Structure 1
Amino acid sequence: MPHRSSRLLRATGAIAALALLTTACTSNEPASQETTNTDPRAVSSNDDPGKEVVIGFSGPESDHGWLGAINSTAVAEGEEYEDVTLRVAEGTNDPSMQISHIETFINDGVDAIVLLPTDGAALTKVATQAMDAGIPVVNVDREFSSEFAARTTILGDNYGMGVSAGTYACNLVEENDLGGDAVVTEIAGTDSLPLTQDRSDGFKDALKECGQEVDHRVAGEFTVESGEQAASNLLQAVPEIDIIWNHDDDQGVGVKAAFDNASRDEFFFIGGAGSKNAMRWIQQGEMEATVLYPPTQAADGVRLARLLAQDKGMSDLVQREVPRRIVLNAPVVTEENVEEYLPLGFES
C-alpha cells in the first residue's frame, strides 16, 4: 500500500542538518552483541587506558524498547574501556529497590555512579549522599530535585523533539502546498508526564512559526495497545488528515497497526524516539520521518563518569571540565539520512 510520502515531494530543510551528539550505538539486544561508534574520536589522551575505576550503574526495568536500549548501551560502553569495571544493578521500576542499589554502591566505595532514576525526586536524597561521600553522580534523563545530587546531568530534549517535529511538519506544508487548510494531528504519550507536555509544547510552538496549529490531538500510554486505540480513535474522528506526529515509536507499533487496519495512508506520518521499526518503515516508504530521543544517554553517562573518576576533562572544550549539564540534540531521520541513523535505532 503506497504511502503519501512516496507520491509527494519530500521536505528536507534545515532539519536534515541537525547533528546527533550521542556517541554509542543502540539496540535492545543483549550487551554482548552491542557495538559502539567506531568513527574516529577527538585527538586526545582521554581514550587511552588510565587509572582503573569502578562505576556503578542503576537503570530502569527493560519493559520498553527505549529503556532496554538505555541499559544495553550503557553496559556496552563500559566494556569498551579496559580501565573500567562497570557494576550493573538489576533494572527496576521500584524507587525503594533503586535506593538500596545506590546505598550498596556507596558502601562499596565505587569511583562514580551513573543513575537513571525511576523517580528523580525519590532518588535525590541517596544521590546527594553519594555526592557527599565524594562519589560523583551522573544523572541521566530524569532529573533530581536538587542541584547538589549530581555532578553532571545528561538529558534528552523533549521540548526539542516537539520543535523538530513541528518544524519538519511546517516544511512538509510548504513543500507540498498544503497551505492554511492542512490538517495537523498529534498522538501524544502519557499526558500526566512532564516529558509529554514538553513534547506537545514544542510541537505547538514550532507550528506557530508557519501559521499552523494542532487540529486534533489524542494521547496514549506509551504502549502498543494504547497507541493502537488512540490512533483508531483519531482516524474515526477525522476523515482526512495531512500530517500525524506520534510521540513514541514503541507506541507507534500500535499506531501503525491502526493505520493499516483502517487502510489509511493519505497523511505524512512522523514518529518519535528513533526505533529500528520506524527507520525500516521510512526505508519502505511507509513513514515520513522520526525524531530521535537518544537512547544512548546512559552510555554517554558512563563515558562521562569515567572522565570524572579519572580527573579528566573534555578535550573538545576550551574549558576542559566536564559540563554540569548536557542536553542532547533531537535530529529528524528521513529517507535521506536513515542509513546514517539506523545503527542508533532500538528494537521495539
Structure 2
Amino acid sequence: MRRITGRASLRVLTRVGVAVAAVSLAAACTSNTPENEGNDSENNGQANAASSNDDPGETVVIGFSGPEADHGWLAAINSAAEAEAEKYSDIDLRVAEGTNDPSQQISHIETFINEGVDAIVLLPTDGAALTEIATEAMEAGIPVVNVDREFSSEFAARTTILGDNYGMGVSAGTYACGLIEENNLGSDAVVAEIAGIDSLPLTQDRSQGFKDALAACGADVDHRVAAEFTVESGEAVASNLLQAVREIDIIWNHDDDQGIGVKAAFDNANRDEFFFIGGAGSANAMRWIQEGEMEATILYPPTQAADGIRLARLLAQDKGMSDLVQVEVPRRIVLNAPVVNADNVEEYLPLGFES
C-alpha cells in the first residue's frame, strides 16, 4: 500500500491523542465527599483507587441490553460492557440477550423495570422504537444511559453517550488533506469514498463530515460507492470501484469490518497506488497499519457501553464527577474520533476489536 513521504503527522489533526482522555472520562470520577487519607495499611500496601468513586460502594443492579453481536464492533461493545462491570464488586450486571428485534428489546427493558433495577444501559436496535419504553423506565425512577443510537425524546435518557460520526468524516477528510499537501497531489487528487448503508443517518453524517473537511483543501469526493457494513458487500463495491476508476490517490472506507472485503478487492485487483484510510478501528486494520498495508483508520470507540456502565454506576450511587466544575454526570457525552496511523497505532491497538 502506498505510503506517505514526509508523513502528515499528528499535527494534521489536533484531535488525535485526545480519545484516551475522552474514553476515560467516566473513569476519572470522584464522589462528593473527601477521599480517606492515610489508609495505606487498609489497602494491604496496594495503591489507592484512582478516586474514591472507584472504591466499592453500595451494590447496584444494572440492566444492559444491546443488539445482536453480528458485527465485530457490536461484539466489542457488548463484551467491553460486561468486562467493565466485572471490575466493580458493587455492580450486579444483568445482561439481556442481544437482539436486532426492537419488540424483543422492549420486552427486555420491561423485565428490567419489573425487576426494579437501579439503572439501565441501553444500545437500542432502533432509537425511535425504544424511546417509549426507555421513557417508562425513567418515569419509574430508573436512570437510563442511552448508547450510540439516540432516542427521539430528551425525556428517555438521563445520559447519552455517542460516538462522533460527523467527526469521523472530518478526521478522515482532514487527514486526507494532509496527505494531499505532503505528497504534492494538488487539486487533481482523485479521492474515493466507500460508505456504509446510505439510508442510515450515521453514514450520512460520516459522508458530510468527509466532504466538509476536504473542502478546506479544495478537494472533492470524486467517486463514491456505498456498501452494507459486511465483508461481502465491501468486496463487491470495491471491486466495481476499481474496475471503473483506473487510478485513485486516496480511498476512505467507512467501516473496518466491511474493510476486510474492501482490502480483499484491492489485493485481487493488485491495486496499491492509493492511500487507504479505514474507519472504526478494528484490530486487523491496526495490524495492516503496522505492516504498511494501510495508511490509517479513524476510531469509532467500541467502549461506549463500557463507559455507560461506569456512568450508570455513578448515577445509581448518586455520585458525580470531579473532572468538571459541575460535578454531576453530564447529560451528553460525545467521544472523540481520532486518526490512528503508524505514529500512534501501538497506543490504540488495545482498543482494536476483532472483525
Q: Kindly indicate whether residue 96 of structure 2 is the aligned counterpart of residue 89 of structure 1.
A: yes
Q: Which residue of 2 aligns with 1:4?
A: 2
Counterparts of 1:244-323 in structure 2, within 5 Å, are 244-323=251-330
2:12 and 2:178 in contact (8 A); partners too? no
| Superposition deviation, residue 23 in structure 1 | 3.5
TM-superposition CA deviations, 1:142-161 (whole Å, max 9, x none):
00011000000000000000
Q: Which residue of 1 aligns with 2:39?
A: none
| Superposition deviation, residue 339 in structure 1 | 0.3
Change (3 A) 1:56 1:69: same
Q: Which residue of 2 aligns with 1:34?
A: none
Q: Which residue of 1 aligns with 2:18?
A: 19
Q: In 2, Cα distance between the equivalents of 1:333 and 1:42?
A: 30
Alignment-mate amino acid for residue 12 of structure 2: A
Alignment-mate amino acid for residue 15 of structure 1: L
Q: Which residue of 2 aligns with 1:101?
A: 108
Q: In 1, Cα distance between the equivalents of 2:292 and 2:7?
A: 11
Q: Which residue of 2 aligns with 1:29?
A: none
Q: In 2, Cα distance between the equivalents of 1:283 and 1:154?
A: 30
Q: Which residue of 2 aligns with 1:185?
A: 192
2:49 and 2:55 in contact (8 A); partners too? no
Change (3 A) 1:41 1:307: farther
Gaps of 5+ in 1: 25-39
Q: Which residue of 1 aligns with 2:151?
A: 144
Counterparts of 1:1-348 in structure 2, within 5 Å, are 3-5=1-3, 8-12=5-9, 13-15=11-13, 17-20=16-19, 21-23=22-24, 43-348=50-355
TM-superposition CA deviations, 1:217-262 (whole Å, max 9, x none):
0000000000001101110111010000000000000000000000
CA RMSD after TM alignment: 1.4
Q: In 1, Cα distance between the equivalents of 2:24 and 2:325?
A: 20
TM-superposition CA deviations, 1:169-208 (whole Å, max 9, x none):
0000001110111001100000010000000000000000
Q: In 1, Cα distance between the equivalents of 2:62 and 2:341?
A: 36
Gaps of 5+ in 2: 26-46
Alignment-mate amino acid for residue 128 of structure 2: A
Alignment-mate amino acid for residue 23 of structure 2: T
| Superposition deviation, residue 22 in structure 1 | 1.4
> 1:4 is paired with a residue of what secondary structure?
coil
TM-superposition CA deviations, 1:77-119 (whole Å, max 9, x none):
0001000010000000000110000000000000000000000
Q: In 1, Cα distance between the equivalents of 2:156 and 2:259?
A: 35
| Superposition deviation, residue 51 in structure 1 | 1.0
Alignment-mate amino acid for residue 19 of structure 1: V
Alignment-mate amino acid for residue 10 of structure 1: R
| Superposition deviation, residue 15 in structure 1 | 1.9
Q: In 1, Cα distance between the equivalents of 2:345 and 2:48?
A: 22
> 1:153 is paired with a residue of what secondary structure?
strand
| Superposition deviation, residue 272 in structure 1 | 0.1
Q: Decide which structure has the larger Cα Rg and report it.
A: 2
Q: In 2, Cα distance between the equivalents of 1:326 and 1:293?
A: 14
Change (3 A) 1:189 1:63: same
1:42 and 1:316 in contact (8 A); partners too? no
| Superposition deviation, residue 42 in structure 1 | 8.8
1:46 and 1:315 in contact (8 A); partners too? no
Alignment-mate amino acid for residue 236 of structure 1: Q
TM-score (norm 1): 0.93
When structure 1 is superposed on structure 2, of 11-20 and 126-135 the one drifting more is 11-20
1:154 and 1:325 in contact (8 A); partners too? yes
| Superposition deviation, residue 267 in structure 1 | 0.3
Q: In 2, Cα distance between the equivalents of 1:232 and 1:92?
A: 32
Alignment-mate amino acid for residue 230 of structure 1: V
TM-superposition CA deviations, 1:319-339 (whole Å, max 9, x none):
001000000000000000000
- Percent identity of paired positions between Structure 1 and Structure 2: 81
